[in-house]
Structure 1
């Protein structure tokens, strides 16, 4: 054997290091142990969840906060299928996630011989929800395959990528590749298109900007553009905090009538990095989002530009490149109008649309934000999160995200918050989860303890699936199956060694949060909708 050659597992670790991977999430098993060879000597940190779905959600939260791909190592069969839900959430929300799994030996693939963890066609199954799914049949192809994976995640619309490595390939030795980070190539609009859009901006009297999750990395340029053309900026759930506190910010859902009125009145709508999907733009499925004859839509994905509202001018570009080019084309021009006043009216009217209960919940979110400056709130599908998705101004970009959009997976927030805390350990991370959703991934508080993750688990306890129960009642359906019993969350947390308390009054929340932040590592606070004073209007 040639000197200096390494196993596929060892080389994989080297390639991950070269691409600035700092942490991987996974549960080792006999089908992946060879991928762990060399990991202990690497600076890459390994975080062990209690379930592979947790690994995927941790990778998702890490990616959203760090801006880098989240990486998972999982076994073949059940380990990979357990990760599918997290991959689907990442696909819907355009989150870069690299899932590396084992698979049985090459000679067994497709034969159905009853091998441990065998699936009929694992790669074929994963290809339905991954941007790329590849089986590494030749060990020497590893560098090229990994380069393709990072290029796909970095150059186009992000999402999950899957690579499976047969167990007999993992231990093979290959020549050391030239190690380098994969260079992403992000598209830009042609000069003619940029000039056209700039002319449309100059001619507009009432422009509006719609900013989605794809615009988060372009914060500075987007603020400059909005100020230059005097445009209110409506932020979707994944873009909240993009213009935190700015007078042009409209941190309210385009599913609300007042926000739709603002958009419908615009003589130019610029949509940046937003899927324009139902969970943001038509939450109540009433079909009332206005027609946009004056829509300029910027997206990194050509296929996405062909979906949803038809744009008068579709622009294939990353948001960063498009905004940079457009600001340069406009130069130092500043168009003064009624943008700030229009934004203020939209904010006020949007808030007044909300029911008293929702306004109360938004007030609690604002209390968290103001008590913990720079905090990140990671939400599950629970009523307070739905309220924030309707109206809430996060204190910073990447400071508000949840699973109540897109795929809508319950149990997302407890592990995703761990990933967020690992990505940014200096920032307070609050996991806002309901009593029902928390039980989907309750054991991950043990993972938070092991990882020393600074996560405050804020449990919004309303004795079951209250959102679904209310929907049933509103539609004349006798509620059934919406009252799963919950454990004593305080005792559960204490059993894991976490400090925990149940609030008697929401007024005590700021001090409870400050106390939790002073504690290094995870902690838990419970608000009970009926038993905590001030939890409802």
Structure 2
């Protein structure tokens, strides 16, 4: 087809390809089929989830591993209400996601005529879970609107963007438009004066401490260098795991709500926080007020985040990697090694001494996973293994460990997110940690993974309940209603959906199934039942 005869829908996919998009998650519907007409003319791969929420979670996992936006084609109305939850998780955790949907024709918008999939306003629906939502009223707007979206992903705090295209605009002529991506603005650098102030504060500190979050995932080398120059222990949030390599002597464990970490924050005479909002979901099982023993320096790409939650003494609005690089240079050669490693070791020992019994079980589980599947990407749900593993797991590299216990906190996230992660990093093993309750939110996505040949080890912790909520209710003397749930035959269901599946009884069998998962081209579902002989063996 010549460029002059392209429709807006056909032009759109070519424009996406020019921005480096290589994968789209979507479920075709009568309102979006024209977006698919031009796909064969591109190299973009399409994956079909079984639910729009699954599409969003897959896009989320893909984006977290690659740093590129996950892209979704979503049908009008129910498609948008379905994906809104996934957009909420991505919004809370600053994950880039581009959601492109149809909407009723321009003359039908907001008329309330009972049209198919009609909503009063899709834009209003997703306003709270997107950086912006735009209704495309003319194909000529596409280059500019797409440039705005990718500017958010590249140069601002990355969050979902929604673009809706009326049915009559999707088929309108657009062959006259250029398909080249617009040049994007550079990421924000830190001011030289602020960097010098930060360096001065940190150089004079005797007990500096670093807190690094998911916003610093691309600044691992620079943060490691700063930690060495300052002889400063480093606490990484859940989304920041992997910034320090496993076994680094300055690495801390636990979470910011634990007494050893609270004590260390209070004893530190300078705190450098990079790419973190100090969210309450980093303080399991309940948030605690933070007391800093010295000035707080915060570096964040989002200026408004620097004025949220905690008062800081030196706010620096800048890209984490650029700012950390400048700060490392300003620190010079650094100081000789002192008490930093001893401080970190002492905190780690105190945290480990206070861990609850489940941490031993799931710690052993993760040892087996790590040994059997080195360099794995681990995506988790809201489930006992994840809450336990969050306290001590050291990811092999950044963008390798994430779960829905943070931010928005959605059940059913882990399975499709692990599939999206595998698609984003096909050469690395993919592991999903999920409970029997959360799995039933998104079990159908196993069929999508089989269809798309996605190899992932899906580890189910089956306690036949919403275990975390059940324990929460019991601790507060609340009747435990609605938390003991029927669970199906996961192994049988998984096999019926085309997966490999097993119920291992020993550690050896577990290891064998994990190893086999990396050789297959479909998911390997591994069920572990609480109270089983395998669970008992993991506890030893």
Deviation digits for residues 45-100 of structure 1 (CA, Å, limit 9, x no counterpart): 00000000000000000000011000000011001110000000000000000000
**d(CA) in 2 for partners of 1:131, 1:286:** 27
Distance 1:95 1:292, change over 3 A: farther
**d(CA) in 2 for partners of 1:101, 1:178:** 20
Contact kept, 8 Å, 2:358 with 2:385, in 1: the verdict is: no
**d(CA) in 2 for partners of 1:382, 1:242:** 24
**d(CA) in 2 for partners of 1:395, 1:353:** 25
Trace 1:327-366 onto structure 2 (pairs within 5 A). 327-366=328-367
What TM-score, normalized to structure 1?
0.97
**Number of corresponding residues:** 536
Match of 2:99 in 1: 99
CA-CA distance at 1:252 after TM superposition: 2.4
Match of 1:79 in 2: 79
Structure 2 residue corresponding to 1:534, chosen from 511, 523, 537: 537
**d(CA) in 2 for partners of 1:432, 1:286:** 24
Give the secondary-structure state (helix, strand or coil) at the position aligned to 1:346: helix
Deviation digits for residues 255-304 of structure 1 (CA, Å, limit 9, x no counterpart): 21112222221111000000111001x33335343245411011110111
CA-CA distance at 1:389 after TM superposition: 1.6
Match of 1:376 in 2: 377
Structure 2 residue corresponding to 1:271, chosen from 267, 270, 273: 273
Contact kept, 8 Å, 2:257 with 2:288, in 1: the verdict is: no
Contact kept, 8 Å, 1:498 with 1:522, in 2: the verdict is: yes
Distance 1:3 1:308, change over 3 A: closer
Contact kept, 8 Å, 2:265 with 2:290, in 1: the verdict is: no
CA-CA distance at 1:392 after TM superposition: 1.8
Match of 2:145 in 1: 145
**d(CA) in 1 for partners of 2:79, 2:261:** 43
Structure 2 residue corresponding to 1:259, chosen from 258, 261, 265: 261
CA-CA distance at 1:511 after TM superposition: 2.3
Give the secondary-structure state (helix, strand or coil) at the position aligned to 1:72: strand
Kindly indicate whether residue 219 of structure 2 is the aligned counterpart of residue 218 of structure 1: yes
Match of 1:67 in 2: 67
**d(CA) in 2 for partners of 1:526, 1:284:** 26
Contact kept, 8 Å, 2:364 with 2:539, in 1: the verdict is: no
CA-CA distance at 1:334 after TM superposition: 3.5
Kindly indicate whether residue 39 of structure 2 is the aligned counterpart of residue 36 of structure 1: no
**d(CA) in 1 for partners of 2:179, 2:393:** 47
Contact kept, 8 Å, 2:140 with 2:177, in 1: the verdict is: no
Deviation digits for residues 125-182 of structure 1 (CA, Å, limit 9, x no counterpart): 2222210100001111111111111111211111110000001000111213150254
Match of 2:122 in 1: 122
CA-CA distance at 1:414 after TM superposition: 0.8
Q: Which stretch of structure 1 is more off in the superposition, 254-263 or 27-36?
A: 254-263
CA-CA distance at 1:358 after TM superposition: 2.0
Contact kept, 8 Å, 1:456 with 1:522, in 2: the verdict is: yes
Give the secondary-structure state (helix, strand or coil) at the position aligned to 1:320: helix
Contact kept, 8 Å, 2:227 with 2:250, in 1: the verdict is: yes
Structure 1 stretches lacking a partner, 5+ long = none
Trace 1:3-402 onto structure 2 (pairs within 5 A). 4-174=4-174, 175-180=176-181, 182-243=183-244, 244-280=246-282, 282-291=283-292, 293-402=294-403
Give the secondary-structure state (helix, strand or coil) at the position aligned to 1:377: strand
Distance 1:181 1:486, change over 3 A: farther
* Runs of 4+ with >4 A deviation: none
RMSD of aligned alpha carbons? 1.6
CA-CA distance at 1:5 after TM superposition: 4.3
Contact kept, 8 Å, 2:228 with 2:334, in 1: the verdict is: no
CA-CA distance at 1:2 after TM superposition: 9.9
Give the secondary-structure state (helix, strand or coil) at the position aligned to 2:89: helix
Match of 1:409 in 2: 410
**d(CA) in 2 for partners of 1:154, 1:222:** 21
What TM-score, normalized to structure 2?
0.97
